[in-house]
Amino acid sequence: MLGYPIYVAYNIAYWMPLVLALTNTMDDSTAFSACAVIIAVRSVLHVYRNNFLAAEQAMRFPFRAP
């Protein structure tokens, strides 16, 4: 279960710009840019996991959906 803390941090980083924008802590355009970057990184990681890793490796990959 070594990947669990990484997975939690991965999801917190995904939701953080939205939460900060909704609480008016972060400017909307900055939050949009941060979300765009985070979604792009997540997309690259998911494409890598789905297309380049074997099934056993993919299950140990920390950046994955449970």
Residue 32 predicted with pLDDT over 60: yes
Q: In whole angstroms, what is the distance from residue 44 CA to residue 41 CA?
A: 5
Would you say 49 and 64 are in contact if contact means Cβ atoms under 8 Å apart?
yes
Q: What is the pTM (predicted TM-score) of this model? A: 0.74
pLDDT tens profile 52-63 = 888 888 777 776
What ranges do the domains of the chain cover? Answer: 4-60
The CA angle 46-58-42, to the nearest 5 degrees, is 20
pLDDT attached to residue 22: 93
pLDDT band at 4 (very low <50, low <70, confident <90, very high): confident
Q: In whole angstroms, what is the distance from residue 57 CA to residue 41 CA?
A: 19
